[in-house]
Copies of this chain bind each other. A is one copy, B any other.
Amino acid sequence: MSAEFFEDPDGTREQILAATYHTLCEHGYADLTISRIGEEFEKSPSLVYHHYESKDELVLECLEFMIDRFEHRTTDDVDQPRERLEEFFGWLLESNIEVERQQFIALLVELRTLASRDESYRRQFLRSDQVLERYLSNLLNSGIERGEFRECETEQVAAYVLTTLTGVMLRRSTHDIDPAWLEDVRAELEAYLEARVYRE
């Protein structure tokens, strides 16, 4: 997810952005230092300030980029709504995921908590939630039009499912890998969808 760009960035500014992303994933926001970013892309830490105003600006741009990437990836393609839907939450509900995904999820949650005290982060996550919510309701509407889903308040369902998935992220980012509760949540989420969304 949103990792392609960060693998072979061209231009120094982009390399710094990619290095920031990787450092964030590995060490988290709390332990992010300019010198660690320097280590990551093998240049002097002070070079960062030749391309960016401040550490915060850098992190925010990184976050914005991540959200943008996801946005461009979702807006289209609402064929096969049920498969898309299961794919969507499957990405979060799989057990035994790789370390990178685990770290990425934890990073998103950690950055999100910054929003409670910082206006700029709040804006980003507000937008991110809107993007996801629109994608989900599009999926639901498409399913209803095709007769695969039953009539329902799509925005309400979208907000609800998204909240649950946000909860999955937070619990995942704290608990051990492959916890037992994951299967429970998946099963009960399926049951909810059967009861409220899917047409039997």
Residues of chain A whose beta carbon lies under 8 Å from any beta carbon of chain B:
28, 30-31, 106, 109-110, 112-117, 121-122, 125-126, 129, 133, 153, 155-157, 159-160, 162-171, 173-176, 181, 184-185, 187-189, 191-192, 195-196
CB of A28 within 8 A of CB of B116, answer yes
Kindly list chain B residues whose C-beta atoms are within 8 Å of the C-beta of A160: 164, 184-185, 188-189, 192
Select from chain B the residue with minimum beta-carbon distance to A181: B159
Cβ-defined partner of A170 (8 Å) among B133, B166, B185, B191: B166
Kindly list chain B residues whose C-beta atoms are within 8 Å of the C-beta of A112: 170, 173-174
CB of A174 within 8 A of CB of B122, answer yes
- In angstroms, Cα B185 to Cα A192, docked, is 14
